Amino acid sequence: MPSAFSLMPTTRDYYEVLGVPNNASDDDIKRAYRRQAMKYHPDRNPGDSQAEAKFKESAEAYEVLSNRERRSTYDKYGHAGLRGTPGHDFNSMNVEDIFSMFEDIFGGTLGGRSRRRQRGGVPRGYDLETEVEVTLGEVLTGATRDVQFKRLDVCQTCGGDGAKPGTKPLKCATCGGLGQVEQIGFGGMFRMRTSCPSCRGRGEVIAAKCPDCRGSGRVSIKRNLRIKIPPGIHDRQAVRVAGEGEPPSPELNQRGEGIRGDLHVVVRVAAHKTFEREGDDLLIAIPVTFTQAALGAEIELPTLQGTTTLKIPPGTQHGALFRVDGEGLPNLRGPNCGDLVVIVQLIVPRKLSESQKKLLQEYAHVESIEVSGDGQSLWDKIKDAVTGT
């Protein structure tokens, strides 16, 4: 592969390229780029020029939106504001720059181009990612989900070497089987090694390609798995399923000693109509009347498991907080549970019966509280205060 992409900057909106809103968080931008990079990576789309163009476009969008200063400039001035700024010359952007961004996103996993390897030099394949949704009730108890995803797997027809059955790959004539070529620049002042453009770093070329994988050594398959989601999991946390990712690309796994990546199942927790979550605690707002707050009461509360009761003391104020121990969510890493936090909301009735009015007027009289009884509106009273009448 050449040492640099021939890349013209995209004119499309960067947020549109990654499929995120313009107020997306840093994590959302990183996640969106990760999906795009996995989808359009050249190793997964050999010979597909459109996929390669989208891969480059996604890298350009991420390079800008992942940098707070550049993102701010882009938000204010668009593409014009970035022209000529340092680090934004995509015509000279080195291939290693794009793959280093990809490597950072994937924690060292770059499929066919990983510069980092597992301990002992063993190559590692791509990690994959998918999403599932659970309810707050399932966070309490744990859940299972059936997930379906696609991954590249070793072609069973050719055993992964990409050659037609009965034939074998040939040593690359360009690099002599080394997988790299040496370039000399500036009158011999320096030398640079890059992947061989003929064999793409494999050291071998395929004269007769496998009819099933077309020489790539990998085919796309569907996988179905049942995933256990532990109690107490938080929104956007992931369940890792070891070994359910992709194998290393053939150029890193020529001797069959590589290991698969992992599958990361990102869990999204759906919003609940009654409760809000704060860590392992659940929050609920409970309406109480004036008489309940003043005299005290025993209130029935909903929980994720049923109901419980709460005693509020006389004189409870609006906004007071009470805790019901152990009625929250389980801790993901321990045996403890959070609490149910109850927020008292004092409710004032919009309509009163005549008897209710009379009782409240008597209460106001006892407390020497002035109440409206002359029919004059609040606005009229304000005007009287201003004019002095």
**Regions of the chain where pLDDT drops below 70:** 1-10, 43, 47, 84-121, 184-190, 251-257, 368-389
What is the predicted pLDDT for the residue at 109? 39
pLDDT, tens digit, 9 for 90 and up, residues 350-368: 888 999 889 888 888 887 6
| Domains 1-105 and 272-348 in one fold | no
**Domain-by-domain residue ranges, the chain?**
1-105, 116-155+212-249+256-270, 272-348, 353-389
Fold classification of 116-155+212-249+256-270 is: HSP40/DNAj peptide-binding domain (2.60.260)
Residue range 321-352, pLDDT digits in tens: 999 999 999 999 888 999 999 999 999 888 88
Q: What is the pLDDT of residue 389?
A: 54
Can you tell me the distance from the alpha carbon of 36 to that of 17, in angstroms, rounded to the nearest whole number?
Answer: 9
pLDDT at 146: 96
In this predicted structure, what is the pLDDT of residue 88?
Answer: 52
CA distances 75 to 8, 13, 60, 68, 82, Å, are: 20, 10, 15, 10, 10
* Strand 281-288 with 340-346, pairing: parallel
**Which pair of tokens denotes residue 158?**
């050719």
Helix or strand run (H / E) with residue 298: strand 297-302
Pick the CATH number of 272-348 from 3.40.1710.10, 2.60.260.20, 3.10.450.50, 1.10.246.90: 2.60.260.20
Rg of the chain on CA atoms, in Å: 32
- CA dihedral defined by 348, 350, 352, 358, rounded to 10 degrees? 50
User: Residue 36: how many CB atoms within 10 A of its CB?
Assistant: 20
- The whole-number pLDDT of residue 200 equals 77
Token readout for 363 is: 């209460």
* 263-269/128-134 β-pairing: parallel
Hey, what CATH class is 1-105 in?
Answer: mainly alpha
